[in-house]
Structures are given as structure tokens and as C-alpha cells.
Amino acid sequence: MFPEPRTLSPKSRLFLPDSRLPRVYLVAAGPGDPDLLTVKAQRILGEADVVLHDDLVTAEIVAKVSPRASVFSVGKRCGPKNISQEEINSTMIAYARSGLRVARLQGGDPLIFGRAGEEIRALGEAGVDFEIVPGVTAPLGAAAAAGIALTERGAASSVIFLTGHHSASRARSELGWPASIRPDATVVVYMPGDDHAGLAAELCARGCDFETPCLIVSGASTVQQQSHLTTLRELPSAPQLPSPRLLIVGVVVARAQAGNRESGFGSRKISASVFQ
Amino acid sequence: MFPEPRTLSPKSRLFLPDSRLPRVYLVAAGPGDPDLLTVKAQRILGEADVVLHDDLVTAEIVAKVSPRASVFSVGKRCGPKNISQEEINSTMIAYARSGLRVARLQGGDPLIFGRAGEEIRALGEAGVDFEIVPGVTAPLGAAAAAGIALTERGAASSVIFLTGHHSASRARSELGWPASIRPDATVVVYMPGDDHAGLAAELCARGCDFETPCLIVSGASTVQQQSHLTTLRELPSAPQLPSPRLLIVGVVVARAQAGNRESGFGSRKISASVFQ
């Protein structure tokens, strides 16, 4: 399903300063706003011959790719495409071996709940050199837009990144959830899914207070961004905002709301079922 | 100790698209490499009138600041300076109120173990509008440089960010450490301090296996970057690498090392006391 790799002229030193070949760049696209690409990521997108990106990468970011590049959407979340991780790996490797400059672009940062782990191993086993270009992981984009710090001295002293996955039927203990959660931890649930009631129950069963404020953020940092502020008690009646979304739970959420109101961030489409 | 704010001509629409004034930008400097600034952060540094930065911000990043700007180092970690958080807050507010474009620049991302929480509250209480520009938090820079994903399907399903702080005398439970840590969690300790033996003991007391691989990373993403790969059992005899540093603990660390060797990352000054 991919076109045949073509051979290119020798690579520019700007792109490959140590001239080792082949090389694949595993690039963080950040939460969605192209201004939140790193300088390095933007440069690589402008110079790559082949870009493989997932569904979470926004059109505004894909637009940063060189018009000469071959661009493939390899997302697995929606649409008629059905591309396995093995196909993505072998495609990256084939293009890189043919001498093309390959950028594998993933929403957020691929090192946290992305595919980088599997891709690093595949590239390593194939003897293809690679470089990881880190970026802004989605919760930082969401927190920044909402005016929330994820830690705060004396109030929130740790951050836990979990995934809710799409499958409500899988026990959350199988998803790596800890047995207990401190009330002063900030918890971020990536891909929290639609089962708000189950999510709230699981968090409270682990020690979170029912009154803990939480914020659902959809499309963080994009023009489509929406947020909904609530508590774990009220989470089951919260609206189902569009994907991609995440849930931030912790005392910092309430603090940020106070800051938001006073500093005029209220215009940012934060809907609230509490804290009126 | 700061010069008097001066009044400027009206702000450019590029910098303040909605023309609300005053505004302070709380900007992530990322782990150290100026190429890991976001596009937005780089633009703001080039346009700010006043930049307040902490000690973790590298000289290469400070060099991105407009030569017309007033630049203040407000780090509290070393040197003869003794600037309180209140002074930083009141300085940002005073400059912003005088109509100057203020960037508060912090190493890593200020939303995780930075000062953003306190600064957001101070700006909110003063009625000064602000915007947070998120960035690459230090562990992502460290993991990327070491070729490590922090999560991996079926192997590492959660990420916990903790701080070791500088004070070995403070109980780690006071620092927000959880009562237990799953063996499949990836733990990142910011500012792990010099008490390697205490750190390893505290992690193992919470459920980490003594054989869990761990990586100390110093100066992530900078030319001074150094790493040391070991296990929790051997951590007490690990070298004291220069600050800033962090500790990554988890099964992903071992996986990454295998990837590193095969893909030629060995030249990156990773010293190892195991996995030879």
C-alpha cells in the first residue's frame, strides 16, 4: 500500500550532521498547535522525504511538512485504514534503507503512551539508526491552556500519568493503575474513554476524594479546544467531549480555576458544573 | 535590585493578538538544547522586553533573547543572589503593569516541579493577564537522548513524576511519594539529590525490585549531557553526576539500552555499571 522507496542524492549535512545513514526521526508533534512544535521538529518536517503520521497530528502540523515529501497517515484509530504496527515499522525501515529521510510523527510525545517503544526496538533490531525528538506531551498543552500547574509546592507533589484506554471492559489494574493514589497527587488519564462513572469509581476506590476537582480537556491547544470542569462526584454526568481528550484530576485543578477567573481566562470555553 | 520599568510604545499585534494588556508569558525553556524550545517560546524570547530566567536555563537559550531585552537571572539555587519568590512575582507584575512584555523563562516545563503554580496565583491576584507556553519537560529530553520510551505496551503502563528534593532529611512521604509503586511503573525522580543509597532504599521499600534498571541523566539534551546506567541495587555506588540531573527507574530503561547498542547510540557517553 506504500509506494516504492526511491533513491535520493546524498543527504545534506544540516539534516544529518554526523552523516551516519540511514536514520529515522521519531518526532513529537505536541498537543496540536503548530506553534508548540519544537524548533527541531519543525525543521525536520521541512526537510524530510517521507512523513508517517498518526491520526492525532493536526492538519496545521501536517501543513508544515515539505511539499516535496511523501506523507502517509498511518493512524489506527478511525477510518477505513487498517495498518498494523509491523507495517509501520517495516515501512520506516524500508524507506530509511533506501536513503530517504524519514520522519515518524506522533501526536503529543511518542515516549508517553505513544508507539515509540515498539518502534525503537524494531529500528534497533533492523540496525537502522534513529533519533528521538521529544516534544510537548498532551497534558502539558492542556494544563497550560487551562492555566493549571500540575504540581504546586505544599499542595500537589507528584504527577501520575495513566491511560484509561478505550476498553471499559479491561480491569484498570491491568492498565497499570496503582493500588492507591495519594490525595495530593495530580493524576492525568490519557484516553479516558466514555465510561465516566467507572473512571470516577476507580479513582475514588484508590483514595481520591469524591470532591476532588477534575478537568476534561478535548483538543488541547487547538482551535477546537473544549474543557469541562467538574468533580469526581459529578464526573458521571459530564458531557462526552470529542476525542482526543484527557482528564486531569487533583487539587491543582481548583486552584487554576480561581486563577483563571481573576485573570480573564474565562473566555476559553471552560464549561463548569461546579465552582460557579 | 531591578531597574525601574520603562514605558514602551503600544504592543505589536503579533505578540499580543487579542491586545489585552498587561500580559506575562510563563515560558518553558525545555531541557537545555535551544532546538528543543517550542516555536512559540523562541518567538516570545525574540520579542520580550524583559526576561526573568532561572539557573537551569542554558546560555544557548538565553542567547535567543532579543538583544534589546533586559535579562535577569532569578535562580535561587546557587550564587550570591537571594531572590525570593515574592520578589520574582512583584517584579513580573511591576514590569507588566508598566506596559512591558515580560517572559518568565524556566528550565524544563514550569508546570511540573517549577514555580508556575505560585506565579499563576500571584498574577491572578494582581489582575495581570498571563499565558503559559508549555514545553519539553526534562525527563522527556533525557529519555529521548537515551533512546528510552517511558511507557511501552505490555511492559510499562504508567509514569510517576516525583521529586527527591535537596533535603535528604525530609521524609520522602512528605514529598508526595506514594505508599507503593507497581513494578511496571516508570518512575522519574526530579532533583534526586546525592543520597543514592536512601533513594534506592525508599524506592525498593515501595515495591520496586532491586534489579530494576535505572538511569541517571545529567544535563539532558545539552553538550554536557552524561548518563549512568545501573540498577537500584548498585545505585548507591553510582557516580555523583553534575546537576541538573534526574533519575529514571523502570523496565523500559533496560529495553532502551538494548536498542541503544544495536543502533549505535553508544557514543552518547552512557556509562554503565551493568548490562555490559
Q: Is A206 on the interface with B (CB under 8 A)?
A: no
Q: How close A162 gets to chain B, by Cα (Å)?
A: 5
Q: Judge whether A209 is closer than 8 Å to chain B, CB to CB.
A: no
Count of CB atoms situated within 10 Å of the CB of A120: 28
Q: Are A51 and A2 in contact (CB under 8 A)?
A: no
Query: B9-34 pLDDT, tens per residue?
Result: 444 334 444 444 568 999 999 999 99
Q: Which residues pair with A74 in a beta bridge?
A: none
Are A130 and B136 in contact (CB < 8 Å)? no
Can you list the residues of chain A whose pLDDT is less than 50? 1, 3-20, 258-270, 272-276
| pLDDT band, very low/low/confident/very high, at B82 (cuts 50, 70, 90) | confident
DSSP for A75-119?
A: --SSSS----HHHHHHHHHHHHHTT--EEEEESB-TTTTSSHHHH
Please choose, from the candidates A75, A62, A139, A151, the residue with its C-alpha nearest in 3D space to the C-alpha of residue A108: A139
Kindly determine whether residue A178 and residue B175, on different chains, have CB atoms separated by under 8 Å: no
pLDDT digits (tens, 9 = 90+) for A225-276: 999 999 999 999 999 999 999 999 999 998 755 333 333 333 344 454 433 2
Measure Cα distances from B238 to A136, A144, B192, B249 in Å.
31, 36, 13, 14
Residue B75 — pLDDT band, cuts 50, 70, 90? confident
Report the residue from B145, B148, B182 with minimal CB separation from A178: B182
Size of interface A-B (CB pairs under 8 A): 237
Q: Among B77-86, B252-261, B264-273, whose mean pLDDT is lowest? A: B264-273
Closest in A43, A111, A264 to B140, CB measured: A111
Q: Which of B39, B113, B132 sits opposite A147 (nearest CB)?
A: B132
Cα–Cα distance for residue pair A6/A98, rounded to 1 Å: 7
Question: Using 50, 70 and 90 to split pLDDT, how confident is the model at B170?
Answer: low
Whether B258 sits inside 8 A of A124 (CB atoms) is: yes
* Rounded average pLDDT over B65-83: 81
Per-residue confidence (pLDDT) for residue B118, from 0 to 100: 94
A276 C-beta neighbours (distance < 10 Å), count: 4
Q: How far apart are CA B27 and CA A167, in angstroms?
A: 36
Those of residues 225-244 in A touching chain B at CB distance below 8 A are: none
Rounded to a whole number, what is the distance in Å from the CA of B170 to chain A's nearest CA?
A: 13
Chain A residues with CB under 8 Å of B182 CB are: 176, 178-179
What is the reported pLDDT for A75? 81
Q: What does each C-alpha distance from B27 to A102, B32, B110, B141, B159 come to in angstroms?
A: 30, 13, 7, 16, 24
Per-residue pLDDT, B159? 98
Residue range A43-61, pLDDT digits in tens: 999 999 999 999 889 999 9
For residue B1, the distance in angstroms to the closest alpha carbon of chain A comes to 26
Amino acid, single-letter form, for residue B130: F
pLDDT given at position B167 = 52
For residue B44, give the chain A residue with the closest CA. A35
Q: In what order do the strands lie in the sheet with B129-133?
A: B70-73, B50-53, B102-106, B23-28, B129-133
Q: Is residue A201 less than 8 Å (CB to CB) from chain B?
A: no
> For position B14, what pLDDT does the model report?
40
Which residues of B, range 92-121, sit inside 8 Å of A by Cβ? 109-114, 116-118, 120-121
Say which residues have a Cβ less than 8 Å from residue B226's Cβ, sequence separation at least 6.
B217, B218, B219, B241, B242, B269, B271
Concatenate the DSSP letters of all residues of chain B into one string: -PPPP---SPPPTTT-TT--SSEEEEEE-BSS-GGGSBHHHHHHHHH-SEEEE-TTS-HHHHTTS-TTSEEEE---SSSS----HHHHHHHHHHHHHTT--EEEEESB-TTTTSSHHHHHHHHHHHT-EEEEE----HHHHHHHHHT--S-BTTTB-EEEEEE--S-TTS-GGGGT--S---TTEEEEEES--S-HHHHHHHHHHTT--TT-EEEEEESTTSTT-EEEEEETTTGGGS--PPSSEEEEESHHHHHHHHHHHHHTGGGS-EEESS--
* A156 neighbors A184 (Cβ within 8 angstroms): yes
CA distance A149 to B134: 10
- Which helix or strand (DSSP H or E) is residue A271 part of? strand A270-272
**Nearest of B150, B149, B158, B165 to residue B202 by alpha carbon:** B165
Please give the grid coordinates belonging to residue A193: 474513554
Is B3's pLDDT higher than 80?
no
Can you tell me the distance from the alpha carbon of A162 to that of B107, in angstroms, rounded to the nearest whole number? 25
Q: Report residue B99 as a C-alpha cell.
A: 506596559
* A83 CB-contact burial (10 Å; exposed 0-12 / middle 13-18 / buried 19+): middle
Summarize the confidence of residues B189-206 as an average pLDDT. 94
- pLDDT score at A154: 86
Instruction: Verify whether the Cβ–Cβ distance B124 to A259 is below 8 Å.
Output: yes
Q: What pLDDT is recorded for position A275?
A: 34
Residue of A nearest to B251 (CA): A117
Amino acid at B196: H
Cα–Cα dist A189/A179, whole Å: 15
Chain A contact present for B38, CB below 8 A? yes
Torsion sign across C-alpha atoms A109, A115, A118, A122: negative
E strand intervals along A151-218: 158-163, 185-190, 213-218
The conformation of residue A238, written as its DSSP 8-state character, comes to S
* DSSP three-state, residue A157: coil
The per-residue pLDDT for B13 is: 35
Helix (H) or strand (E) holding A140: helix A138-146
**B108 - beta bridge partners?**
B30
Q: What are phi and psi of B269, to 5 degrees?
A: 55, 40
Catalytic residues of B: 54, 76
pTM of the model: 0.87
B145 reaches A (C-beta below 8 A): yes
Residues of A in contact with B160 (CB under 8 A): 158-161, 178
Please report the pLDDT score of residue B21 as a whole number.
55
- What is the reported pLDDT for A168? 53
- Please report, rounded to a whole number, the percentage of residues in chain B having pLDDT higher than 90: 74
Flag if A143 and B111 touch (Cβ within 8 Å). yes
pLDDT band at B158 (very low <50, low <70, confident <90, very high): very high
| Residue A164 sits at the chain B interface (C-beta within 8 Å) | no
A54 is catalytic: yes
Q: Higher pLDDT residue, B260 or A137?
A: A137
Query: Could you tell me if A263 lies within 8 Å of chain B, comparing CB atoms?
Result: yes
Q: What is the average pLDDT value for chain B, to the nearest integer? A: 84
CA separation for the pair B11, B8 (Å, rounded): 8
Of A39, A155, A179, the CB nearest to B39: A39
Predicted pLDDT at A82:
73
Q: What is the pLDDT of residue A169?
A: 53
Burial call B17-26: b when 16+ CB within 10 Å, e when fewer? eeeeebbbbb
Q: What is the largest CA-CA distance in chain A?
A: 62
Q: What are the distances in angstroms from CA A54 to CA A96, A187, A213, B191?
A: 19, 25, 31, 34
Chain B closest-CA separation from residue A23 CA (Å):
10
Could you give the maximum distance between any two Cα atoms of chain B, in Å? 62
Give the pLDDT band of residue B83 (cuts 50, 70, 90): confident
pLDDT digits (tens, 9 = 90+) for B230-249: 999 999 999 999 999 999 99
Q: What are A222-239's pLDDT values in tens digits?
A: 999 999 999 999 999 999
- The alpha-carbon gap from B56 to the nearest alpha carbon of chain A, in Å, equals 18
- CB-based contact, A86 to chain B, within 8 Å: no
